Amino acid sequence: MINSNEVSPVKMSNEQKQDIMRSILKEESMINITLKPIEQEVFLTEDPQVALIKLKCFQELINKERLAYAEHLAEVFEMIGDDAYRNLGFILKQFVQDSYSIQLSIIRQLPLLVEQIKKRQSGYAELKDHVLPFMNIFIMHEDFDVKKEVLTQLIKIAPFLIEQDKVDTILTHLIEMAHDEKNNQNRMLAAETFGQTASLFSMKYCESYICGELLALGIDLNEFVREKAIEQLPNISVCLSEKCIELKIIPFFLQSCEDRLLQIKFACIRSISGISKYARHNLKTTKLIPKYLDFISDQNKDVRKTAYEYLGEFISTIKFTDKDQQQLETILAYYQNQLDKNMNMMGVDLVYKCAYYFPGVLQAIGRARWLKIQPLYGFLLKYPSDKVRVSLSQSFHEVAKLLGPDLSKEYLIPVLETLAQDKLQEVRNGIVVNLSKFISIFPIEERDYVIDLLLNFQKDQHKWRTRQTICTSIFPITRCFNNDTIFFQIAPILFKFCSDTVAKVRRKASKNVVHLVETFEEEGEQRTVILEQIRAFSHSKKFNQRQSYCWMCYKLFYRPDFEDLFFERLFELCRDPVQCVRLSAVTVIDKFIQKEGFSKERKYLKYLLVQFIDDQCKEIQQILTKYNFVIQKTKKKTLSCRSRNSGSSNGHLEDIPEFDEKIEQIRKTSGKV
């Protein structure tokens, strides 16, 4: 063993330090060989100098330790600081010849490392000189998974690069891979990555290089390469001009549609909607709609099924004009065919996509044709699939917005009531979350029926998750009503939730009581009643209602009038005889301080913490350990205030804040001095 007294750390050179570290690492590796697997726990060192030496001597660590440092490389660099970045190139070279798992871990850490590097003054130079060359090595890696992972992480880093470096690092390698005639996987990966990276480049590079390379892969001899290239056409169309789409993408796409292989036809059907989004209207009506009608009437059943699956998405990309009425009627007839038993028996996916894109179809055809597709909407509501009903519940407000108040009142209110009583939690949540958007389309005098819906949720004790969701969405719901409705209808519901039998509902409701206070800012009878109702929770004989008051304070802390309106009752609840009330109080205070910290405007937080000094609850004392210094300092001020009030000459000479005297007054009135 090395005696640390023999060599002074101050006099040791870097080489001596590394020699010592190597000997320590060698001893550690010998010990680890003799340990059982369960005993071989690896802990990252918290000493920056030791961590740096371990990274520089990376290959001498045992495999488990190397993997641990590789998986947390960005954190270790942040801990070490400048010394790590000065050795960045040398450290990265340590990983080039390492194992597969360690290489993948390092590659996945690079975007996090780059986030830190870009904040440094010399960050871009370090990125260009060390990180990019390191990634270039692995782009040419023999293992396909490593190569794919590098490209995935490189796409995340690319936004930090100037365009020329993106071209040199990404585009050049992709073009080389696209021309690799011996390796089909390379060409497939190039086709896939061309589409993913197109948005990173300017239109000049997209039209001059990426578009041409992708279309060349689209006529590759290998069908899997062609399939990948066709699937990326929507992604590249985003970055091309309408002229380029007309002259290059559409002709190539129509040619690909003639391919006899089914997988190529499927790829064309999946891609046609994405291309249609960015094509000119005349190309949609003269080229793409006729081609889609060919797919939907194809002799092959699987082709027809796939075409029906994507029909709603395709229709939603087209804005039909008066000149297109005949085409609209034709394609709408096919869309209505999904009511046919032979069609909807093809699978849940077909019906789900019909439901998912229903609002888009309605927008494309207009509310005047609602009655034509309304039977289909009714069929979707009754379809025995949870997935379909969840989709409908999340989009019913979009349908209502397109239909307007009159048609929505006639057709969608019954839908709303049905879905609101659905046995599936996700369906009810979809209704509640979007309820305010649905209400807002109606005149304010026609919105009261929603109150009955909320009351039904309140009464049903079995659907507590729905009640919790209502509490989360209560603020946007209140904005849909006038103050009288909020006061007489919604406020009682929210206060009822604050007394709910389920703790999670009470907590969520209590945190949102602040919105009632904000609604009634102006002095008046309604504001007085709301404030009295809030304070009544703190006086309640039921401990869970006193807990609710504590959670109300979490957001009330933000209000400048908290000290005047709510502080006194919370101060006394900090000494509540019921432990769970005190624990709720200290938890609320702790969470707020962790988020916002202490401030001059909220110095009362310190005095609240002092209340828990003698508490016997272990959980409370564990929370207080974070604030020992603040508590002791505040306690001294409080003792000083007491000394002053009692006339003692042993008090502190510092000025006593006015707030301290208010604390003493509260103690006196509560009989706790």
Q: What is the pLDDT of residues 342-367, one digit of tens each?
A: 665 667 888 899 999 999 999 999 99
Contact 171, 205 (CB under 8 A): yes
Question: Predicted confidence band at 523 (pLDDT cuts at 50, 70, 90)?
Answer: confident
Determine the Cα–Cα distance for residues 123 and 109; give it in Å rounded to an integer: 17
Determine the Cα–Cα distance for residues 575 and 639; give it in Å rounded to an integer: 18
Mind listing the pLDDT tens digit for each residue in 428-462?
889 888 988 998 998 888 887 777 777 776 666 67
Lowest mean pLDDT among 14-18, 46-50, 213-217, 414-418: 14-18
Determine the Cα–Cα distance for residues 184 and 168; give it in Å rounded to an integer: 23
- More reliable by pLDDT, 425 or 658: 425
Stretch 17-36: mean pLDDT: 49
Between the CA of residue 227 and those of 160, 362, 573, what are the distances in Å? 31, 31, 67
Determine the Cα–Cα distance for residues 198 and 596; give it in Å rounded to an integer: 42
Residue 9 has pLDDT above 80, yes or no: no
**Contacts of residue 388, Cβ cutoff 8 Å, sequence gap at least 6:** 348, 351, 352, 355, 380
Stretch 188-206: mean pLDDT: 93
Residue 637 has pLDDT above 70, yes or no: no
Residue 635 has pLDDT above 80, yes or no: no
Q: How many residues does the chain have?
A: 673
Mind listing the pLDDT tens digit for each residue in 84-118?
999 999 999 888 888 888 889 999 999 999 999 98
Residue 670: its pLDDT value, please? 52
Residue 41: its pLDDT value, please? 60
Lowest mean pLDDT among 29-38, 48-57, 179-188, 577-586: 29-38
Q: 3-state secondary structure string, 306-322?
A: HHHHCHHHHHCCCCCCH
Residue 403: its pLDDT value, please? 95
Mind listing the pLDDT tens digit for each residue in 132-147?
999 988 888 888 888 8
Closest CA to 484 of 455, 439, 524: 524
Contact 60, 25 (CB under 8 A): yes
Mean residue pLDDT across the chain: 85
Q: Residue 595 belongs to what H/E stretch?
A: helix 579-596
Residue 217 has pLDDT above 90, yes or no: yes
**Contacts of residue 538, Cβ cutoff 8 Å, sequence gap at least 6:** 546, 549, 569, 570, 572, 573
Contact 538, 488 (CB under 8 A): no
- More reliable by pLDDT, 638 or 564: 564
Residue 640 has pLDDT above 90, yes or no: no
Residue 648: its pLDDT value, please? 38
Residue 656 has pLDDT above 80, yes or no: no
End-to-end CA distance of the chain: 62
Residue 25 has pLDDT above 60, yes or no: no
**Contacts of residue 400, Cβ cutoff 8 Å, sequence gap at least 6:** 408, 412, 438, 441
Mind listing the pLDDT tens digit for each residue in 488-515?
888 998 999 999 999 999 999 999 999 9
Question: Predicted confidence band at 423 (pLDDT cuts at 50, 70, 90)?
Answer: confident
Closest CA to 622 of 598, 587, 596: 587
Mind listing the pLDDT tens digit for each residue in 230-289?
999 999 999 999 999 999 999 999 999 999 999 999 999 999 999 999 999 999 999 999
Contact 277, 317 (CB under 8 A): yes
Residue 22 has pLDDT above 70, yes or no: no
Residue 175 has pLDDT above 90, yes or no: yes
Residue 17: its pLDDT value, please? 54
The b-or-e profile of 501-529 (16+ CB within 10 A means b, else e) is eeeebbbbbbbbbbbbbebbeeeeebbee
